[in-house]
Structure formats: structure tokens, C-alpha cells
Amino acid sequence: MAKIDRYNGNLEAFAADALSTERTIFGDTAQSDTLDDNITTAFLRGWGLVGVNENPTKQDFNGLAFTLGQLISYLHQRGIAEWNTAQEYFDGSVVTTDVGIYRLKVGGDGSSDPDTDGGSNWALAPTRAEVDDKADKDTTYTETEVNNLLNAKADQDTTYTETEVDDLLDDKAAISGQAFSGDISAPNLSGTNTGDQVLSEIGVGQTWQDVTSSRASDFTYTNSTGKPITASVSLMDSGGALGATAYVDATIVIHTPNLDSGGATLSFIIPAGSTYRSDCGGNPIMFWVELR
């Protein structure tokens, strides 16, 4: 069948302009323009309400055609019907609300309000803005790129958890202008770097950060950045107080038995994943900065 061209105008129902005496509710004598009034038990029964020796009235024909035409006109207005709790829905049914367009999930309950059921039964279609926003993310892969990553992963002897794979992909997305040979494995991405920087080099992609407000003497902290960091702790001589000691994991890396009147600075490197602390011996911390 050839494509039917859309009616070029505002589609109204058959007999929409009928005079009050020319159209009634099907099987009744009253007149109404609303669908709620026109879809009655008589309408659902159909011509069974006409006796064997009776003829349907003009008003009934107009009422029937008007009701069906109103339904078609409604869909021309809305495009997709609004959700209604009394309507029967099946898997894949599509409805609209003021929030957006929903599709009923397989096995979903269509009587549940799409706007309030939290996605249990209805899936909300994304808006164009949401799709465009997703496409603008820095870490975006095409379907082919994802398939290649998964195929390459399937050929490896080593098995990674989902978290490890996510970390590898995040690290890969953060590398610019780098080329690797050899094995690239979690968590350190070991291999030969032929780019212009070394991935594990201290200072690459790091900045000095003042963490004085979040550090205290003799408290243990963990380097969870995934790279080595440097800590520099400047102390003020409190006068007769004990010296200061810096620890990485359980190892003493710096110890100053006595502080002179100028105070002291403890600088030390913390490998990725290691714990660290500074026992300041009662000397006040002036500054605690970290290259991270």
C-alpha cells in the first residue's frame, strides 16, 4: 500500500460540527463532545442494542463515527497516548507523561505510575540533551573499540576483576601521547614507555598541595593515588621537645633527634599503596604539603 499523506490541517472527528439534534451519545439521546461521556456500555455493546425490526438512527451513526474519530484526533494531537492507570498495557507498550516517554519493561506492571515507580516497571527514554551530554564525555568508546578490548581481554592468561578492568581503562584514558611495548598489567601498567614521559615518574601530572588542615602528628595515612607521592612536613621548635620521626609503612625513613631554633623539615617519598605518618615529638606543624 502506498504511503498515505497526512491530512494538511487540524484533524477533527467525524460529525464534530453536527448540530445538537444531529448527533447524540451512541444509544442515548444526550449530546456530549468528551470521550468519557461517549464511551459507554452501549458503545461497547454496539449494534446489539438495535432491535431486529428497528433501524439505527442518524444520531447513533454520527455518535459512533464521532467517538472513533475523536480517538484518532487525540492520537494526532499527542502522538503517543498518555499513561492511565486503568489502561491495559503489555511488554513494550509506550506511553507519555509530563516527565517524558516511557517503555514498559518485559514482565512489567503497566498499572504502576511511570513517574513514581523508580524504573522498576517503566524505562524512561533519554532526552536528546542527555544523549549529547554522554557523547561529550572524555572517556567515550565506540562499540568496535569496546569489542576489541573485550576480545583482547579474552585472549589473556591473567584474569582481572571488573574493578581492575575499569581502573585499566581509566588509566589508559588519562594517557596522552604515550606508546607502550611489553605487558601492560594491573595495577602499575608495567611495560616500556616510548613516549615523552615515564608513567610512574614522580611529578608527572602531580602538583604541590597544602594538606596542613587535614594532617596531624602520629596519625597514619595511606597513599591511595596509585602513584608515588612526596610529603614535606615543616616543624617549629617548641623548645626542649623531642625530635621528630617519619615512617613509611613500618620503616623509619627520617629521624631528627633534636630540633634547633630554626625548626626542621621532614621530606620523604611514599610509594603507591603505602601508609605514612610523622611523629612530630610535640613540635607544632607549620606546613604539611604533598606532591600528589
Flag whether 162 is in a domain.
Answer: no
Instruction: For residue range 192-241, list pLDDT tens digits in order.
Output: 555 444 445 788 889 999 999 999 999 999 999 999 999 999 988 777 66
Q: Name the residue range of residue 253's domain.
A: 208-291
Per-residue b or e along 221-246, where b marks 16 or more CB atoms closer than 10 Å to that residue's CB: bebeeebbbbbebbbbeeeebebbbb
Return the biggest CA–CA distance within the chain: 121
Q: Do residues 103 and 123 touch, judged by C-beta distance below 8 A?
A: yes
What's the mean pLDDT in 246-260?
Answer: 86
What's the mean pLDDT in 107-117?
Answer: 96
Q: Do residues 64 and 71 touch, judged by C-beta distance below 8 A?
A: no
CB-based contacts of 56, cutoff 8 Å, min separation 6:
47, 50
Residue-level pLDDT at 183: 55
Flag whether 256 is in a domain.
Answer: yes
What's the mean pLDDT in 262-285?
Answer: 88
Flag whether 183 is in a domain.
Answer: no
Q: Do residues 19 and 62 touch, judged by C-beta distance below 8 A?
A: no
Residue tagged 625548626 (cell numbers): 263
Look up the CATH number of the domain holding residue 237: 2.60.120.40
Could you give the CA distance from residue 173 to residue 162 in angstroms, rounded to a whole number? 17
**Predicted confidence band of residue 36 (pLDDT cuts 50, 70, 90):** very high
Flag whether 232 is in a domain.
Answer: yes
N-terminal to C-terminal alpha carbon distance within the chain = 69
What's the mean pLDDT in 104-132?
Answer: 92
Flag whether 245 is in a domain.
Answer: yes
Instruction: For residue range 16-35, list pLDDT tens digits in order.
Output: 999 988 999 999 999 999 99
Flag whether 280 is in a domain.
Answer: yes
- Count of domains in the chain? 1
**Predicted confidence band of residue 260 (pLDDT cuts 50, 70, 90):** low
Which residue did the predictor score with more confidence, 260 or 75?
Answer: 75
User: What HEC string does 56-117 produce?
Assistant: CCHHHHHHHHHHHHHHHHHHHHHCCCECCCCCCCCCCCEEECCCCEEEECCCCCCCCCCCCC
Flag whether 62 is in a domain.
Answer: no
Flag whether 126 is in a domain.
Answer: no
